Structure 1
């Protein structure tokens, strides 16, 4: 096989470091066999016969009012536990003492009248107690022992009071993310917690600021002395709020905030326009308005004309808003704005006239696009990610040229054919999503990832090893004994199978060389590869075949074997895992550079084994 070790080793090192960080951060990595989902099973209690090695358990949407220490006592390996929407009213303090490895606990959307004591969970990182029926945010002293807690969600429809010391038990926790949800009758909200939660980085607030504009100003002011750089505000204003003071004026002074999001809020078009003007004059890097409801009190509605050059904003998310773009004037996006999302705004094909050549990421999902303006896209030389899902696009044009594009999403459109020439202008493409399109299988769209050519004497290996491994990886294979059409000539079946397959995989052995049918399949596949000018042939060497032992009719095969452009079936078990990862990746793409990257990604989980094997040899 070709020597790709310099590139692979670099990629593998990068992926290995990423994987190590993921494990070190405490993320639960759980095999399917240790995951149990019993949600919506009419349960009235935690089943007593659960396997002791259960690591993931979901019993949501059942009728369980009390959680005792007996319920989870035998699950010492439990890492993630979800129990939402169960009508839970009480939790005994000892309920989790048998689960010392628990890292994620979700008890949201229940009927808890007080925040329960949580004991015996030294590794707990994520805790969600939101959308329950308690009236204050007061935490018990047992929360002092949650020394690994990095994220907590609190509050609900009846929560009306946040006292000065309510969150004090978290003072020594490494808390980085905090979500607070208050009811409509909020009476008191002390912001002192921003001072003693020293490691806090992200704050999410679901609070009605309509009648409490001073509270909003206080929060913005207090945030300036903290390390919080991310603020998400949900339901900022209720419908038809008569704002007594212009809250948006305070948005110019957001202190150290770098990422600000408004979600599921009501706003007039004039308030939004003023908020946008104020925010783009702030030091924000990311600004998001998601799924907001607007009342049009200005003739033009919500219209974006420009973002000033002095703004520092790099990311703008305006998803699912009734945004309009000007008809006779192009939107002026500053060069430092690199990521834009306009998803969920029905802007149509005209939006291509308002794109910036400086964008790195562009989300145009569900924007009523029917065709791609390739002339406008040609100017986007730096674009790396393009999302065009849920539109009415009928084809991927052959003259599409985006030299830096690495990720393309075209799912849920009206595309029925994908042609190879449409991808030639995308040399760096790594990921393509074309799912949920009305594809028609013809000569331009392959029905199979690969047609497998092999000798009958190698059928056992092909069925038990090759077919099993590749189809588990969701590859669609064509096998003559299973997929040839009964009643048709064998030659016609071979021709149709090769032409309707993206690749042809030849399982080479001495038996293959001696098979007349295999010879014909190789002959036809070679000529097809020459005709379409694409490398559509893959060779798997099942046993050693010296190139000089082949006759002249195998001249092309002799060339491939001499050049070592094949995969050899290894004897050692660890190397077989690498073999499957390589073959799977090669069947997923034709571009060689993409093949190598995909190989690295597919074998990321093998890095540890490969490294250990190398050290022992």
Structure 2
């Protein structure tokens, strides 16, 4: 011991029955097959060893103090080991499997190492029966180096919480819950048309910034006509002719004809309603199935009904069953229950009276 060997050769000559060898403090970086397999005690403390890979079947005591080992030696190479000192190395932890692989181990000195007090390591230390009798210097010389929250604490006294021990599981659980929450929001939003309501609310808030009502000089139309595309034949070929060719003629605002090209359709709807003296709804089964008709109805409600002005005219083009009106049309239900509406008569004799009543409503 205490020589400056630096390195040892691969082949050496030793007495045949050599049992004890002390190579401590000899600055050797690696052990070679020069070490005889007959040894029962080997001391290689205070060297520059980074691993121990010798097969010594008869070895009973091994001293590896003050080296650079990061793990315990392989038990299969030293099956009869009874005592081992691996203190003051770079050992971070050792597992239950590694510990129990030394079948004959009675004393293990792993003190003064920088232990990483992971959940697995702590669980093994706390639950391994008899480990306190095997570990030399337990518990005062076994100190946690990390995590930071327990640095400097004795390994035996540290208890990590369930959250600290199962961070990956916790993250997975949180991600799963967030995904399920978003999925539920999407499903519920789709079922109850939340996206439509958000779009509606945003457009309404934008409209709220504008004046409550366009000045009289800005009124360009007698009526804005809201109708379903499926009813366009009646609107464009019958109603428009009756009203725009009347004497005096009425000027109607139709989305097909009068909306500004390239302008957002919602802005077109808002501007057209604001620039019209009346808003005329042509109600039918098709109307209550149209998304844009819903927009137009709600815009009229927000911008015009709130002013308590009689600016809405309802034309019932065909009978509508109450159960056929979607829940989103609660305003339509309310309007139909509180306002008089014009019904389009199938009898030609009654149609003339219908047009007279409609013209009178538009002039009011």
Larger-gyration structure (1/2): 2
TM-score by length of 2: 0.39
Question: Normalized per residue, which structure has more helix?
Answer: 2
Question: Normalized per residue, which structure has more strand?
Answer: 1
TM-score by length of 1: 0.24
